[in-house]
Amino acid sequence: MSAIANESSKEAQEMRHEQHSGPGVYVIIWVALMILTVVTVVTGRMHMPDWGLALALVIASVKGTLVALYFMHLSEHQGANRLVFGCSMLFVVLLLLFTLFDIGTRFRPTLAPNGHPSQWPVATGQSLPYEGTQGPAPLVPTH
Amino acid sequence: MQSNAAAPAHPAGVPPVPQVAAHFASLDVQQHAARLGMWLFLATEILLFAGLFVIYANYRFMFHDGFAAASRHLDLMLGTVNTIVLITSSFTAAMAVHYAKEAKNKMVVVMFVLTILMALGFLVIKYFEYSHKFHVGQLPGPYFSDPNPELQVAGVPMYYAIYFLSTGLHGFHVVIGMIVLGWITIKANRNEFSGRNYTAVELGSMYWHLVDLVWIFLFPMLYLI
């Protein structure tokens, strides 16, 4: 056999004793996912006003974590896989947060005319020239 | 990766020995590299869907009432059944990996055929949901034509645009997953997998778990608000 990369030899020494979960774990995870599905449907039907979606997303995150850790074997594999998955999750959160910060602090003419929130500006600590509930003065004269 | 194409014809019932590429020190390292490559690919898939999640989050912030009204016109029953079908298919895909490691190729075939059948069931249920929406005119953007007074709220056509985009992209992934799993099922039927050679089964089922993972988030976002 010809040239083996040095990193690969080193890794081979470090890779002993990888364990794999068996059908028992899969059954437990499957049952847990089923129960969480029922829970999220029941709580979703209550149509809770403010934190209903937040609760649903927390339950979804728990379910997603179970799938990633046990069905996708992330719990028993080595660092690099977790790093890749963790990084992608981090960037999803960054993408979500920063666009929401943007849309939540915009001034009204850049948003849909009949959208929410109806009170403008959103409390951001800034003073904006487009205050009040009547909506902004048109940017272009309408006559 | 395995190089079964180059391997000579092997006697029936004996799994082919996987070949280790020259630059890998051991089969373990080679499998680890394959797995890492799959995770990198899945990371790009996650970010692809994240774009749709961000669109959803922003428009829901703007059109809170419209999204709530439109969401209540989805069939929660069909959505829940689809969630259960997809989670169960994910479970059978995980079991296929377990059997592949034990060289029980017959059971790998059974598990993947079950998975593909459930995927088909998912798509059939989706077809009924879509055809109902087409029928009543709950369509994206300018094509929205449902006269129901409860749906004459700002943001409802936008909700249906996001609904069809995200479930459509997800359905496309379901179809690709069925093709991938079908191909691996054929390989399992040829008795190709064993404790030393199950990378294809593992990576194929990882793809299927991702399809499940995406639906786990789409379901509450679309059906439960």
What does the pLDDT profile of chain B (225 residues) look like in tens digits? 444 444 444 555 555 667 788 888 888 888 888 899 999 999 999 999 999 999 999 888 888 888 888 988 888 999 999 999 999 999 999 999 999 988 899 999 999 999 999 999 999 999 999 999 999 889 888 888 888 888 888 888 999 999 999 999 999 999 999 999 999 999 999 988 888 889 999 999 999 999 999 999 999 999 987
Instruction: Count the neighbouring beta carbons within 10 Å of the beta carbon of residue A122.
Output: 15
Q: Which two tokens stand for residue B8?
A: 């000579």
What are the boundaries of each domain within chain A? 23-106
Q: Is the per-residue pLDDT at A16 higher than 70?
A: no
Q: What is the DSSP string of B115-127?
A: HHHHHHHHHHHHH
All residues at 6 or more sequence positions from A76 whose CB lies less than 8 Å from its CB, including other chains? A18, A19, A20, A21
The DSSP call for residue B197 is B
Q: Which of A65, A116, A119 to mutate to test the interface with B (most CBs of B within 10 A)?
A: A116
Q: Which residues of B touch A37 (CB under 8 A)?
A: 80, 83-84, 87
Q: How confident is the model at residue A74 (pLDDT cuts 50, 70, 90)?
A: confident
Cα gap A44→A21, rounded to integer Å: 33
Identity of the residue in B88, B213, B224 whose CB atom sits nearest the CB atom of A64: B213
Distance between CA atoms of A61 and B140, rounded to whole angstroms? Answer: 28
Alpha helices in A67-110 (DSSP H): 79-104
Q: What chain A residue is nearest to B82 in terms of C-alpha separation?
A: A37
Whole-angstrom Cα distance, residue B18 to residue B103?
Answer: 13
| Averaged pLDDT, A35-43 | 91
ipTM of this predicted structure: 0.84
Option in B43, B63, B98 nearest A26 (CB): B98
Q: How far apart are CA B74 and CA B71, in angstroms?
A: 6
Residue A87 structure tokens: 């990084």
Fold of B27-224: Four Helix Bundle (Hemerythrin (Met), subunit A) (1.20.120)
Can you say whether the dihedral through the CA atoms of B212, B218, B222, B225 is positive or negative? positive
Residue identified by tokens 């030393």 is: B196
Q: Which residue in A13, A16, A41 has the most chain B C-beta atoms within 10 A of its own C-beta, making it the best mutation to test that interface?
A: A41
Contact (CB<8Å) A99/B54: yes
CB within 8 Å of chain A, chain B residues 65-84: 65, 68, 76, 80, 83-84
CB A118 within 8 A of CB A133: yes
Number of other CB atoms surrounding residue B175 within 10 Å: 13
Q: At what angle do helices B27-62 and A79-104 cross, to 10 degrees?
A: 10
CA separation for the pair A105, A125 (Å, rounded): 10
What type of residue sits at position B213?
A: L
Dihedral angle of Cα A26, A28, A30, A32, to the nearest 10 degrees? -150
Asked if residues A46 and B61 have their Cβ atoms less than 8 Å apart, the reply is no
